[in-house]
Amino acid sequence: MKLTKTERWILINQYCILEKLDPGEAKHYARCREILENGYEFHYGEITQHIYKDNDTMSTEASREVLDILEMFSVLKRSYDALEDKAGIEDYRIKFHGFDGNDLLEVKYLGYASFFCNSDGGRYTELDKGDDFNSHMPTLRTYRSMLNEWKNSKDIHKLSKEDIIRITSV
């Protein structure tokens, strides 16, 4: 990684501030500052190790897909709970099971779902979150098929029994 002198100067100032604000971590911030002051490029990775690489970030489109999936499962649950006759619907099929924590793509989805649901006091609290959002099996392909069916519903915010069966039978 290359940093310009100006970028290093800005980061050095940030680390000086952090040294003062967080005395418990002052030694760590002083080391980071020293790496930058001296231009020790080999050690820049130590400073940025917790920051995802650009190709590992969560795109707007992927984030939107996660939010659509969460919303779909929320609507499925509300609509299922409102049904008087639940015959023919397996309740486990309307539960959100999370994303596969062992899959390179799905782990990003898992992380974003966890971040979104746990921020601002909690969102989608009515959903079962699986094992801390980890389904331990691939789910994205099924969720995408379900999303297509959900979006074809007459009213995506209030599903009929037939809608629920159609969506969950993919």
Altogether, the residues listed in the chain come to a count of 170
99 and 69 share one domain: yes
Q: Are 76 and 86 in contact (CB under 8 A)?
A: no
Domain of 103, CATH number, reads 1.10.3190.10
pLDDT of the residue at 13: 97
Contacts of 145 (CB under 8 A, 6+ apart): 170
Q: Taking Cα atoms as reference points, which of 20, 19, 43, 17 lies closest to residue 29?
A: 19
Q: pLDDT tens-digit profile of 1-47?
A: 889 999 999 999 999 999 999 999 999 999 999 999 999 999 998 89
69 and 45 share one domain: no
153 and 71 share one domain: yes
What pairs with residue 134 in β-bridges? 99, 131
22 and 67 share one domain: no
Q: Which residues of 60-79 are buried (b: 16+ CB within 10 A; e: fewer)?
A: eeebebbebbbebbbbbbeb
107 and 139 share one domain: yes
Number of domains in the chain: 2
pLDDT of the residue at 127: 92
124 and 159 share one domain: yes
Tokens 């820049």 belong to residue:
44
pLDDT of the residue at 121: 79
pLDDT of the residue at 55: 76
pLDDT of the residue at 105: 87
CA 162 to chain CA centroid, nearest Å: 30
Straight-line distance from the first to the last Cα atom of the chain, in angstroms, rounded to the nearest whole number: 46
pLDDT of the residue at 51: 81
Structure tokens at 32: 């980071």
Domain of 39, CATH number, reads 1.10.287.680
Contacts of 113 (CB under 8 A, 6+ apart): 66, 69, 70, 98, 99, 133
101 and 141 share one domain: yes
42 and 117 share one domain: no
47 and 64 share one domain: no
135 and 85 share one domain: yes
Spans in the chain with pLDDT lower than 70: none
Domain that holds residue 105: 60-168
Distance between CA 35 and CA 38 in Å, rounded?
6
10 and 28 share one domain: yes
75 and 157 share one domain: yes
Distance between CA 150 and CA 72 in Å, rounded?
7
